[in-house]
Amino acid sequence: MRRVSEDLRRALEDPGYTPPRRAFGEMFALLSHPELGERAERALLSAGLPAATYAAETLAQDPAAAEPALVRLVGRAARTHDEPALLEALCKALQSPHAETRRQAAMALGKSGRREAEPALLACLSTTDHKLLRSVVEALGKVGGEDALAQLTALQVPATLRQVADRARLMLERGLGRSQGPAEPIASDRPLPAPLRVSLLCRGGLSELLAEEAASLQPRVESPSEVSLSYAGALGPLLELRLATAVAIAWPLTQGTSPGGVLTALLSAELVAALTAWSNGQLRFRLEWQGAGHRRADTWRIAQGLRDAGSPLLNDPAQAPWTIEVQQDPPRLLLRPSAGADRRFDYRVRDVPAASHPTIAAALARVAGPDAADVVWDPFAGSGVELIERARLGPYRELHGTDLDARALGAARENAEQAGLVGLSLQQADARNHRVPGLSLVLTNPPMGRRVLRARGLSGVLCQVVRNVASQLVPGGRMIWLSPFPDVTARAAADAGLRVERLRSVDLGGFDAELQRFVRAG
Ligand SMILES: C[S@@+](CC[C@H](N)C(=O)[O-])C[C@H]1O[C@@H](n2cnc3c(N)ncnc32)[C@H](O)[C@@H]1O
């Protein structure tokens, strides 16, 4: 056994140790050390490409000396660096006299994602080493092309590898169609062939407001975060609803949520017709199991069942314009178009920390409603989303935004410009004492104090702002906002002579705030 100096031992004990180039040889020699091998491998990995290139040279010169760890090192680098020498070394290692080294090389070539690895892997398909064959087949599923698909289809594999070969073929089939996919895989202008139940999802607490937004479609409020419609139209108008976070076809799982039940639903002609109507090109989807992890084996069973039945649906997590979520309660599928950019809030070119979710800003604006006489103020304007959403609803007399932070005001200015909003006045000022003559509407999403753990004193600041607003609202004027301290701010508003309406609790992403409307008597 090689003697290891105390200095080197100490260096290797440090998890952050990165060996210099001159130490690479010494580190390589330690890879098979029973006690220090793992540490040496970790240190070499942290040295990155230079160590991997050195390892590739070593492998090229003396394949017989190829340690599995050396191959792993090269493989790791080949995932991110398109260096021919790395790939060559891995291909060469496929011929190593050591079984484990050959297997590591096949796995590394698969993970490299490089099509150039295909010929060397194909050359190994005749191996009698079953472990190697398994890794080679898996790798071909990841990096192969038409040749790999043809050879895997013709290949006679032992029974234990049948499933692995099947998966590899499925992966190749779905990969080969990808490059021919349309630029816009979701069709937003074609109607459904028949009325279906369509769900509109939103932030918890906003479903009634979303139902108001979608009123012309006769919506039904299903829960605080869901509205449903019987709908046969095109997808486009639904994607424009500003309060929705997602649109999905809701498909009942009449035969349960087992893989068999899901497969039966996915094979239904009506479901396929609906997806076809709202798609251009292939029906690629990703399967998600609500609250049940990946369930890879079940997903594969379904993918294989679809293929065996000749279904046009193709399970392809890497490039899926549709996400199909399996829900348990009620048992149903949610078929959600996931491709295509959301254009509704494209004006948001700049953000601030704790910026409002734009659907929530849109909801606040909807509660305010368009009144052409309104003088509007957002005292905590941030990036300006509430003011922009209010402006989109209709005319107003004036729009004012203030913030203590000059960068936030810069963001608001840019966003407003993008939104084509003119006449917005932005000023650096304190919400507690700023005044806006003729103020008739305050619309705001204030600081919630999450960052500083319910920042002590924040509730006091928010009450001061309520009093400041109350002191200047014109008769009939309103303040509409989300309060993280609902009881305290409602009391402050009532004490300041405002009529208090506590509308509903809204999920701000893991914590709730109350949507409140305070009105000065007319
Ligand atoms: C929750 S963020 C506003 C988010 C905003 N609606 C958006 O979407 O970007 C709160 C903002 O209030 C500002 N702020 C905090 N205390 C303030 C005060 N006393 N006066 C004015 N602005 C204040 C912060 O700088 C921050 O930009």
User: Which distant-in-sequence residues (6+ apart) come within 8 Å of 146 by Cβ?
Assistant: 176
- 451 pLDDT band, cuts 50/70/90, is low
Q: Judging by beta carbons within 10 Å of its beta carbon (0-12, 13-18, 19+), is residue 1 exposed, middle or buried?
A: exposed
pLDDT score for 318? 78
Same domain, 324 and 367: no
Picking from 302, 337, 372, the residue at the C-terminal end of a domain is: 337
Same domain, 232 and 322: yes
Same domain, 222 and 117: no
- Domain assignment of residue 10, yes or no: no
- On the question of pLDDT at 275 being above 80, the answer is yes
**Is 173's C-beta closer than 6 angstroms to any atom of ligand 1?**
no
Same domain, 270 and 126: no
Highest mean pLDDT of the ranges 203-207, 282-286, 340-344, 454-458: 203-207
Higher-scoring residue by pLDDT: 422, 298: 298
Contact by Cβ (8 Å): 381, 408: yes
The arrangement of strands across the sheet holding 478-483 comes to 424-428, 398-403, 375-378, 441-444, 478-483, 512-520, 498-507
Same domain, 321 and 389: no
Q: What is the mean pLDDT of the chain?
A: 92
- Domain assignment of residue 35, yes or no: no
CA distance 271 to 253: 12
Same domain, 313 and 447: no
State both tokens at 2.
């090689």
Report CA(223)–ligand 1 centroid distance (Å).
31
* CA nearest neighbour of 267 among 300, 309, 238: 309
pLDDT tens figures, 304-333: 999 999 999 999 887 889 999 999 999 999
**Is 383's C-beta closer than 6 angstroms to any atom of ligand 1?**
yes
- Domain assignment of residue 41, yes or no: no
Picking from 280, 306, 337, the residue at the C-terminal end of a domain is: 337
- On the question of pLDDT at 107 being above 80, the answer is yes
Q: Tell me what the mean pLDDT of segment 448-461 comes to.
A: 73
* Cα Rg of the chain (Å, integer): 30
**Domain carrying residue 98:** 48-178
Report CA(520)–ligand 1 centroid distance (Å).
24
Q: Tell me what the mean pLDDT of segment 456-467 comes to.
A: 92
Higher-scoring residue by pLDDT: 292, 494: 494
Same domain, 513 and 380: yes
Same domain, 261 and 219: yes
Same domain, 374 and 429: yes
User: Which distant-in-sequence residues (6+ apart) come within 8 Å of 498 by Cβ?
Assistant: 466, 470, 473, 479, 518, 519, 520
**Is 465's C-beta closer than 6 angstroms to any atom of ligand 1?**
no
Q: Which of 403, 451, 452 gets mutated to test ligand 1 (max ligand atoms within 8 A of its CB)? A: 403
Q: Tell me what the mean pLDDT of segment 133-143 comes to.
A: 95
Q: Tell me what the mean pLDDT of segment 366-387 comes to.
A: 97
Contact by Cβ (8 Å): 126, 114: no
**3-state class percentages of the chain: helix first, strand second, coil last, to nearest 5:** 45, 15, 40
- Domain assignment of residue 18, yes or no: no
- 181 pLDDT band, cuts 50/70/90, is confident
- Domain assignment of residue 185, yes or no: no
CA distance 307 to 156: 20
- Please state the atom number of ligand 1 nearest to the C-alpha of residue 448: 1
- Domain assignment of residue 184, yes or no: no
Highest mean pLDDT of the ranges 112-121, 154-163, 193-202: 193-202
**Is 67's C-beta closer than 6 angstroms to any atom of ligand 1?**
no
Same domain, 288 and 390: no
Report CA(406)–ligand 1 centroid distance (Å).
11
CA distance 313 to 275: 9
Higher-scoring residue by pLDDT: 222, 50: 222
CA distance 124 to 102: 10
**Is 468's C-beta closer than 6 angstroms to any atom of ligand 1?**
no
**Is 385's C-beta closer than 6 angstroms to any atom of ligand 1?**
yes
Nearest CA to ligand 1 atom 25: 405
Hey, is 61 helix, strand or coil?
helix
- 491 pLDDT band, cuts 50/70/90, is very high
Q: Tell me what the mean pLDDT of segment 245-264 comes to.
A: 96
Same domain, 365 and 511: yes
Report CA(382)–ligand 1 centroid distance (Å).
5
Number of domains in the chain: 3
Q: Which of 404, 432, 433, 461 gets mutated to test ligand 1 (max ligand atoms within 8 A of its CB)? A: 404
The fraction of the chain above a pLDDT of 90, given in percent, is 70
User: CATH number of the domain that 290 lies in?
Assistant: 3.30.2130.30
- Please state the atom number of ligand 1 nearest to the C-alpha of residue 352: 9
CA distance 120 to 108: 13
pLDDT score for 450? 64
- On the question of pLDDT at 452 being above 70, the answer is no
Higher-scoring residue by pLDDT: 103, 83: 103
Classify strands 196-201 and 246-252 as parallel, antiparallel or unpaired: antiparallel
Omega of the bond prior to 370 within 30 degrees of 0, cis?
Answer: no
- On the question of pLDDT at 490 being above 80, the answer is yes
Same domain, 203 and 174: no
Contact by Cβ (8 Å): 443, 386: yes
Nearest CA to ligand 1 atom 12: 380
For residue 161, CA distances in Å to 129, 131, 181 come to 12, 10, 31
CA distance 169 to 507: 44
- Domain assignment of residue 350, yes or no: no
- Please state the atom number of ligand 1 nearest to the C-alpha of residue 465: 19
User: CATH number of the domain that 409 lies in?
Assistant: 3.40.50.150
For residue 15, CA distances in Å to 46, 52, 73 come to 10, 19, 17
**Is 404's C-beta closer than 6 angstroms to any atom of ligand 1?**
yes
pLDDT score for 190? 96
**Is 430's C-beta closer than 6 angstroms to any atom of ligand 1?**
yes
Picking from 143, 178, 213, the residue at the C-terminal end of a domain is: 178
- Domain assignment of residue 296, yes or no: yes
- Please state the atom number of ligand 1 nearest to the C-alpha of residue 405: 25
Nearest CA to ligand 1 atom 22: 403
**Is 355's C-beta closer than 6 angstroms to any atom of ligand 1?**
yes
**Is 389's C-beta closer than 6 angstroms to any atom of ligand 1?**
no
**Is 458's C-beta closer than 6 angstroms to any atom of ligand 1?**
no
